[in-house]
Structure 1
Amino acid sequence: MAPATRGASLKRRVRSLGGGLIRRMGLLPGGVPDRNGDDARLATQRLDAEVLVFFADTEDGLYQLRQWYAPLAALDGRHQIAVITADSRTAALIRAETGFEVVTVARYATLDGLLARSDVRLVLYVNHNPENFSMLRFASVAHVSLLHGDSDKVVSVSNQAKAYDFSYVAGRAAIDRMARYLPLFDAEHRCVVIGRPQLDDALALVAERPAPAPEQRRTVLYAPTWEGAQPSAAYGSVDTLGEAVVAALLAEPDLRVIYRPHPLTGVRLAAYGEADAAIRRRIEEARTASPSAGHAVSTSGELMVDLAAADLLVCDVSAVAMDWLVTGRPLVVTEPAGPEVVTAATPLLDAAARIGVGTLGEVVSVVRRELDDDPRRAQRETLAEYYLGDLRPGAATEAFLDACDATIAAHRAASAR
């Protein structure tokens, strides 16, 4: 072997050994899968599961999977499931939080053997991570996109939807959106309406919440999205509107403010993280000045609890706006500030009050008008089923289970032919 070749080979070995040591010591930066896999053990193992959930993200993105825990637990009672991850730290969290079998796969080749030895029929995905394609290449199973919420964001009409056999969607709105904005995609046949199983608990919370007494502060929930992965999807308002909106609302003595930041806030842009910190400081200062007001930063627990507790929502173009429809309460949606952001004209945005950089001075007057009069309430009520499907308690979970049954049966029948 020539000296140059030996040198290159040695460098590769050093990098490989160093990378393995960094992974084992847990020193990888957040957002990077550690690839500390169970591959050696899986080399001869058979999975008992009939359904796999493929999740290649790290714990930063675990909120996407967590919202599916309850529906997946119901599915596990009908078709045993297992979760495949690319990160051992994330796998440990999922094991601690659920009763699911969880394995970490570092090498694509491991998937070949696992699927060949197992009777897996269906693979579910809760995001469009590019790593999904390492599993999507297998034709021996059916592939279904669940995503982690329906929204009018451009990512909801990603061309990646074409890679899956089916997309399970919340309501008719998703089918119409894909049919309109996704060329050469047969939305009518590739989309299956299942509703939003995640809203079953929210429906009960909303129904049980008593109307606020006249002397009580009315609660405004500010729940913005993150900065987005690219300029066309930068719907977040934290850096452009957030502090001004929160400061204006905190100054109103009869309002209570809850700030619910997106879990990924600040992961891509430092300025976004700084703006988030400034909003948190505002909330803390207000809490200190008036402990009984109830102002809060909410970063744990179910989003549905915050939705049920609020009298009005201020949010960005996001899935939060859709889920809010179950409350029947006033909605204010921000106007994205970025010039490259793609915002479609949709029925929901037409039925929401809007605020933007140019109308920051009107935030309080808009919020008060919506709280007092809610002029678009009837318009929004007609949209709830259109966006979220059947809202009877338990109906969406049952539709999800039935859809999985049907997809497994269809794949088996097609494979037999």
Structure 2
Amino acid sequence: MPARGNALRRRVRSAGGKLLRRFRLLPGGMPDGIGDDAALAGSALDGDVVVYFPDTMDSLYQLRSWYGPLLELHRAQGVTIVCMDSRTAAAIRAEVNLPVVTIALDATLDAIILRSDTKLVLYVNYNPLNTAALRSRSAIHVSLLHGDSDKVVSVSNQIKAYDYSFVAGQAAIDRLERYTTLFDAPARCIPVGRPPLDTDLSEVTPRSDDRPTVLYAPTWEGGQASSAYSSLATHGVAAVRSLLDEGLRVIYRPHPLTGVRVPDFGEADRELREMLEAAGGGGAGGFVSTNRPLHQDFTDSDLILCDVSAVSGDWLPTGKPMIITRPADPQSRDAATALLSMSPRLTASEASTAGTLARDLIENDPLREERIELIEYYLGDITPGSSLTRFLEACRRLAARRDELWQRIQEQEGARGPD
């Protein structure tokens, strides 16, 4: 896939590629490469930190989850978001008050990072295009990702490309030690909790409806068979119908990438939306949540029905019950930790019983104490603001470490002289 991606990038930069970019006819997922390179010649970026995001609009939700912490980091150290797609850059500028530039050429990127004395480069995913920034040896490279889960991506061999990884808690370190070979997780992982959840809390309003409510939050269909965790097309319709038949209100929170790869998931999504509208609309039987903070949906729900995904760990601090689906695809694999083994699992064949199971767990939650004991293991200290503080402190420490290491390298190279 990376080889084909590089070949496509070369074609896009050709004369024909210029026309494709100009008329917005690029293939889905391909950055347009319309950069600010000429304007950036000889200039430097303000601040210590670059957030490198070469993706197109489809993946912007991954960066959006970090807006709150990045604003705080910008106040402390200065942050610039660097994109490879001008459309994505324009959207980010409209959404958050952070400096944003688009850089199309690898040479421009490498030079401006060095010229700016950039200390940290942060990444919110494992996009193969991240290698353009990873070439820079004058900065420390940190993987943030956009959630902590038992998905196989959490133990991807790609983690080795980054100097450090910020993880949620000890569970993530143990998961990597168990499933990833030749990687020193305790040395290269820094637990910071989930900083996006700290900033998300400020937007939450108190619950105003006491009807028993289930949050259904399936993940997307996945990029490979091994990561096909979504229940939407296999469980979703039967499960939501069962919840409604049981008299439970349903909040359906679709994943932003729903239906991007497999059309069947888009069709299931449409069917669920129609079902909730027919159940009363306006929130009577439930509603679709697309532009609300995740914590607002947590606050308004009594139980979550979700897949193997980061949302299960984020739900833990609520203390409320959960049901995790079991993927129908026999090729799917997970990086299981304690939460999967102790949570009720719902198979596709059992989806029509979801309502009975959910109501029983809402009224009688026998695993509550066991889940509460797992909170610190997965997330560390969840006192409001503590995760954001750990994130900012970790960035400060790594910036100082970078200065120490880079000075040593420059002294050694200066003493050696030119080759």
- TM-score, with structure 1 as normaliser: 0.91
Q: d(CA) in 2 for partners of 1:164 and 1:234? A: 25
Identify the match of residue 264 of structure 2 among 271, 278, 292. Answer: 271
Determine if contact 1:227/1:268 at 8 Å carries over to the other structure: yes
Q: Whole-Å Cα distance in 1 between the matches of residues 208 and 264 of structure 2? A: 38
Q: Which residue of 1 aligns with 2:118?
A: 120
Deviation at 1:201, TM superposition (A): 4.7
1:144–1:167: 8 Å Cα contact kept in structure 2?
yes
Q: Could you say if the C-alpha distance between residues 211 and 125 of structure 1 is closer, same or farther in structure 2, counting changes exceeding 3 Å?
A: same
381 and 204 in structure 1: CA distance in 2 versus 1, 3 angstrom threshold: farther
**Structure 1 residue aligned with 2:191:** 193
| 1:19 alignment partner AA | G
1:337 aligns with 2:328: yes
Change (3 A) 1:41 1:210: closer
**Is the aligned partner of 1:327 residue 2:318?**
yes
Give, in angstroms, the shift of residue 44 of structure 1: 2.2
- Tell me the equivalent position of 1:261: 254
1:241 aligns to 2:232 (yes or no) = no
Q: Are the equivalent residues in 2 in contact too, given 1:48–1:119 (CA < 8 A)?
A: no
Counterpart check, 1:388 vs 2:379:
yes
The one-letter code matched in structure 2 to 1:157 is V
| Total equivalences in the alignment | 399
Name the SS for the 2:77 alignment partner: coil
Whether the 8 Å contact between 2:220 and 2:259 is mirrored in structure 1 is yes
Structure 2 distance, partners of 1:330, 1:116, is: 49
What residue identity is the alignment partner of 1:259? Y
Alignment check: 8 A CA contact 1:203 1:326 kept: no
Structure 2 counterpart of 1:69, from 67, 70, 75: 67
Q: Identity of aligned pairs, percent?
A: 54
Residue pair 2:276, 2:285 contacting (<8 A) in 1 also? no
* Cα distance change on mapping 1:203 and 1:47 into 2, 3 Å: closer
Query: What's the offset of the Cα at 1:26?
Result: 2.5
Residue in 2 that maps onto 1:308:
299
Measure how far apart 1:180 and its partner are.
0.7
**Candidates 374, 399, 408, aligned match of 2:365:** 374
Equivalents in 2 of 1:60, 1:14: separation in Å? 19
For residues 120 and 232 of structure 2, what CA distance do their matches in structure 1 show? 38
1:338-394 Cα shifts (integer Å, max 9, x gaps): 111112432111232111113223212211111110111011000111111110111
Alpha-carbon spacing, 1:292–1:209, altered in 2? closer, same or farther (3 Å) = closer
Contact kept in structure 2, 1:201 and 1:304, CA below 8 Å = no
Q: Contact conserved, 2:53 with 2:83, CA < 8 A, in 1? A: yes
> Residue 155 of structure 1: SS of its match in structure 2?
helix
Q: Which runs of 5+ in 2 are unaligned?
A: 1-9, 409-419
Distance 1:308 1:105 in 2: 40
Q: Deviations over 1:243-281 (max 9, x none)?
A: 11111112233x111110000011011111111111111
Distance (whole Å) between structure 1 residues aligned to residue 164 and residue 334 of structure 2: 25
Whether the 8 Å CA contact 2:241–2:352 is kept in 1: the answer is: no
How much is the aligned-residue C-alpha RMSD, in angstroms?
Answer: 1.9
Once residues 274 and 336 of structure 1 are traced to their aligned partners in structure 2, the CA distance between those partners, rounded to angstroms, is 18
- Give the C-alpha shift of residue 14 in structure 1: 11
Secondary structure at the aligned position of 1:314 is classed as strand
Could you report, residue by residue, the CA deviation over 1:274-301 in whole angstroms, capped at 9, with x for unpaired residues?
111111111121125xx56251011112
Could you state the TM-score of these two structures normalised by the residue count of structure 2? 0.91
Contact 2:34–2:102 (CA under 8 A) maintained in structure 1 = yes
Q: What is the distance in 1 between the residues matched to 2:133 and 2:277?
A: 45
Contiguous gaps of at least 5 residues in structure 1:
1-11
* Alpha-carbon distance in 2 for matches of 1:110, 1:68: 25
- Give the direction of change, closer, same or farther, for the CA distance of 1:341–1:145 in structure 2 (3 Å limit): same
Compute the displacement of 1:211 (Å): 9.1
Q: In the alignment, is the contact (CA less than 8 A) between 1:246 and 1:279 conserved in 2?
A: yes
- Answer whether contact 2:43 2:112 (CA < 8 A) is retained: yes
Q: Following superposition of structure 1 onto structure 2, how do residues 9-408 of structure 1 map, counting pairs within 5 Å? A: 16-201=14-199, 209=206, 216-253=210-247, 255-288=248-281, 293-408=284-399
Deviation at 1:79, TM superposition (A): 0.7
Change (3 A) 1:29 1:308: farther
Secondary structure in structure 2 of the residue aligned to 1:149: coil
